[in-house]
Amino acid sequence: MIKVENLRKTYQMGEVEVRALDGVSLTVEQGEYVAIIGASGSGKSTLMHILGLLDVPDAGLFEIDGTDVTQFSENELAAFRNRVMGFVFQQFNLLKRTSALENVGLPLIYAHNGKKNDAAVNMLDLVGLGDRMSHHPNELSGGQQQRVAIARALVNNPSIIFADEPTGNLDSKSAKEIMQVMSELHAQGLTIILVTHDSNVANHAQRIIEIKDGKILADFKNPDSPEIPAVDKAPEAESVIAGFGMHSIREGFTLVKQSLRSLNANKVRTALSALGIMIGVAAVITTVAVGNGAKIAVEEQMSRLGSNLMVLYPQRRSRGGVQQARGSGSRLEVGDIEAIREEVPHVMRVSGTVDNNAQLKVGNKNWNCRVTGVEVDYEVMRATEPQLGRFFTAAENNGRERVVLLGLTPVKELFDGQNPIGREIKIDRQTFTVIGVLPEKGSSGFRDYDDAAIIPLNTAMKRLFGEDYVERIEIQADHSDNMERIQTDALALMDKRHRTGTQNEAFDIRNLAEIQDAYSETSKVMSLLLSSIASIALVVGGIGIMNIMLVSVTERTREVGLRKALGARRNDIMMQFLIEALIISFFGGCLGVALGGGAGYLVERFASMPVLFTQDSIMLAFIFSAVIGIVFGIWPARKAALLNPIEALRYE
């Protein structure tokens, strides 16, 4: 079954070369019970590790059932270790946080042969531990732990059992029981290769091979042992490798379950790892929500100004380096309003505007606010359709009637929020009648858009402020595409009417659409900037995951070695650690969503800032956290996957 010729293995210990095996040749028949005996450092364990495909020789021939295994890939070696070989170690090598049943079923995860836990139950019954299935290793005696290890070695019905000092850590009674189990397994037709330094243990074998300094000193049959039982032929290499490596959904759930158990064993460390992701996800969600809220607030604020609007101003003049008041060099007349309405194409509406602060009084209540004089078109241009009452008419404007529309703030301050329609109010000691209540506009920064009063333009100019000129003319285009043309034509008309000449730049037009676009672009840039800063927190959280996973790999090196000895491939080990990283990321992402929602609520509640959470931002944060988990989990997972099985098993 096993044939090796001139097997050599050398270890480099600093500057010294140690020949662990020096030209070893032997054969093992199927069904044999072989004991390899020798002192510590003789090379017996190295020989067993090579025969068990846990290590590779430097030179020599190594065949199993006529197949050269030195040419096998890593996955093919894993398949043989899982399906052909079973390992019983001196240190038991049981996973501490798993039950006896789960320890025995560990090779089934990597076998991908459809076997369920029934096989593990049967093996525990076989070794006399049917009543200890749910017990953890620390709840079992040394002999019971070794029985669990034997059951684990048998669960996939291997052809060969490798036992490395199986009684080394046991008392004499337990040792005797374990050797009895070994003899029973041999009687059932299993090939057993046992490594020991104890001649009494070796005497249980049919054949004893003595090794010293990497060479075989003696190879003889034990006359007191039974004959080799008749056994079936070992499976061929092709049948062993076929189908190995295909994961089932059940096995995937098992990996997730084991990952959760590993993380649960270090709760504080897992929580600290998730903390960075939690903060990062919360920061991304909150900043995006605040950015979306700010964008909507800007859009609402711009909508209050109306659409396709332009404002014509008299240009400011500078004298002696001092900026003078607007209109000090040129003035807008009432006639300019009508001229723009009639002579500039694509103009829908026009309104002249004057405004000033004024004192409002009702009974013994006083309130100071901004009073604006406008024309009838202003109602539609600036979306100021009254929520109560009506807007004034062109006749009331021409007749300089004392009528006023109040914003919500003066209504609240002067009328205690009651309906003011039809009631009288004094504005700078002149009596006006309230005919309407303006729609709610809200506030922005330190400005309250509801703290306003609107009166007819002619009333404001002639009765209230004593003005002969308008401060500005507001123009609404029929389409945004025509705004640039209107701007050019309106300025040309003003230059013509006031004979200023274009070189004097007596008038200026402010395009509110451009301001709106600038606000929107600024909002986008700020949102992107805030999101980028928040994403840094996610990256920092990912680095935390990587650090913790690297520590976990170091702590669980022996576990990785055990899993590889039981048939785990590199991809299996990588998947194990990547699942753990993803679980941490998912856990942190869930907490981050909750934290981000709470932070957004606090911002909206106490900072009076609009906040808008979107499904896209939450999904983006989740996906980003998952990517972070994968990216920063790959290096630790790959480091674990590349560990040499025997070096990992020897790690202290």
Contact call for residues 405 and 434 (beta carbons, < 8 A): yes
- Identify the pLDDT of residue 616: 76
Q: Does 241 share its domain with 285? A: no
Mean pLDDT of the chain: 83
Q: Does 355 share its domain with 401? A: yes
Cα–Cα distance for residue pair 296/110, rounded to 1 Å: 54
What CATH number has the domain bearing residue 174? 3.40.50.300
Picking from 403, 400, 398, 396, the residue whose alpha carbon sits closest to that of residue 437 is: 403
- Among 290-294, 412-416, 628-632, 645-649, name the one with the lowest average pLDDT: 290-294
B/e letters for 90-106, b = 16+ CB within 10 Å, e = fewer, are bebbbbeebbbbbbbbb
Residue 362 has pLDDT above 60, yes or no: yes
Residue 252 has pLDDT above 70, yes or no: no
Tell how far CA 293 is from the center of its chain. Answer: 23
Cα–Cα distance for residue pair 162/198, rounded to 1 Å: 16
256 φ, ψ (degrees, to nearest 5): -65, -40
End-to-end CA distance of the chain: 34
Q: Does 479 share its domain with 362? A: yes
Domain boundary among 461, 479, 505: 505
Q: Is residue 398 part of a domain?
A: yes
Cα–Cα distance for residue pair 554/601, rounded to 1 Å: 42
Contact call for residues 352 and 473 (beta carbons, < 8 A): yes
**What one-letter code names the amino acid at 281?**
V
- β-bridge pairing 160-164 and 85-88: parallel
- Identify the pLDDT of residue 233: 52
Q: Is residue 403 part of a domain?
A: yes
- Mean pLDDT of the 204-221 span: 90
Domain boundary among 484, 505, 526: 505
Residue 283's domain comprises: 262-299+518-650
Residue 513 has pLDDT above 70, yes or no: no
A 10 A CB-CB count for 498 gives: 17
Cα–Cα distance for residue pair 532/103, rounded to 1 Å: 46
Q: Does 235 share its domain with 347? A: no
Q: What are 181's two structure tokens?
A: 């189990």
Q: Does 337 share its domain with 428? A: yes
436 φ, ψ (degrees, to nearest 5): -165, 160
Q: Is residue 411 part of a domain?
A: yes
Based on the structure, what is the number of domains in the chain? 3
Residue 505 has pLDDT above 80, yes or no: no
Cα distances from 66 to residues 70, 80, 609, 620, in angstroms, run 12, 14, 77, 56
Picking from 308, 438, 340, 335, the residue whose alpha carbon sits closest to that of residue 384 is: 438
A 10 A CB-CB count for 494 gives: 24
- Identify the pLDDT of residue 239: 54
Cα–Cα distance for residue pair 109/162, rounded to 1 Å: 20
- Mean pLDDT of the 545-562 span: 85
Q: How confident is the model at residue 517 (pLDDT cuts 50, 70, 90)?
A: low
Q: What are 489's two structure tokens?
A: 């034509």
Q: Does 489 share its domain with 522? A: no
Q: Does 433 share its domain with 537? A: no
Q: By three-state DSSP, how is residue 209 classified?
A: strand
Cα–Cα distance for residue pair 24/6, rounded to 1 Å: 5
Q: Does 283 share its domain with 345? A: no
Q: How confident is the model at residue 250 (pLDDT cuts 50, 70, 90)?
A: low
Q: For residue range 305-315, what is the model confidence (pLDDT) as tens digits?
A: 566 888 898 87
Rounded to a whole number of angstroms, the CA Rg of the chain reads 44
Contact call for residues 72 and 241 (beta carbons, < 8 A): no
Q: For residue range 584-603, what is the model confidence (pLDDT) as tens digits?
A: 888 888 888 888 888 888 88
Picking from 465, 470, 463, 315, the residue whose alpha carbon sits closest to that of residue 378 is: 470
Contact call for residues 459 and 322 (beta carbons, < 8 A): no
Cα–Cα distance for residue pair 359/430, rounded to 1 Å: 10
Residue 516 has pLDDT above 50, yes or no: yes
Please, which residues bridge with residue 575 across strands?
A: none
Residue 520 has pLDDT above 90, yes or no: no
State pTM to two decimals.
Answer: 0.63
Q: Does 407 share its domain with 470? A: yes
Q: Is residue 175 part of a domain?
A: yes
Cα–Cα distance for residue pair 292/220, rounded to 1 Å: 83
- Identify the pLDDT of residue 367: 94
- Among 79-83, 97-101, 285-289, 347-351, name the one with the lowest average pLDDT: 285-289
Q: How confident is the model at residue 238 (pLDDT cuts 50, 70, 90)?
A: low
- Identify the pLDDT of residue 360: 95
Q: Is residue 371 part of a domain?
A: yes
Percent of the chain exceeding pLDDT 70 equals 87
Q: For residue range 311-331, what is the model confidence (pLDDT) as tens digits?
A: 898 876 545 444 455 445 578
Cα distances from 57 to residues 4, 23, 36, 123, in angstroms, run 10, 11, 18, 33
Cα–Cα distance for residue pair 428/543, rounded to 1 Å: 67
The 3 state secondary structure assigned to 404-445 is EEECHHHHHHHHCCCCCCCCEEEECCEEEEEEEECCCCCEEC
C-alpha triplet 507, 513, 519: angle, nearest 5°: 115
Q: Is residue 358 part of a domain?
A: yes
Q: Does 239 share its domain with 291? A: no
Q: Does 577 share its domain with 440? A: no
Cα distances from 192 to residues 25, 26, 177, 199, 456, in angstroms, run 18, 15, 16, 16, 108
Q: Is residue 420 part of a domain?
A: yes
Picking from 158, 161, 189, the residue whose alpha carbon sits closest to that of residue 83 is: 158
Max avg pLDDT among 210-219, 276-285, 610-619, 642-651: 210-219
Q: For residue range 118-127, what is the model confidence (pLDDT) as tens digits?
A: 888 888 888 8
- Whose tokens are 């041999």? That residue is 186
Q: Is residue 137 part of a domain?
A: no
- Identify the pLDDT of residue 326: 47
Q: By three-state DSSP, how is residue 533 classified?
A: helix
Q: Does 71 share its domain with 189? A: yes
- Mean pLDDT of the 125-145 span: 89
Residue 217 φ/ψ region, left for φ over 0, alpha for ψ in the -120 to 50 degree band, beta for the rest: alpha
Cα–Cα distance for residue pair 162/93, rounded to 1 Å: 14
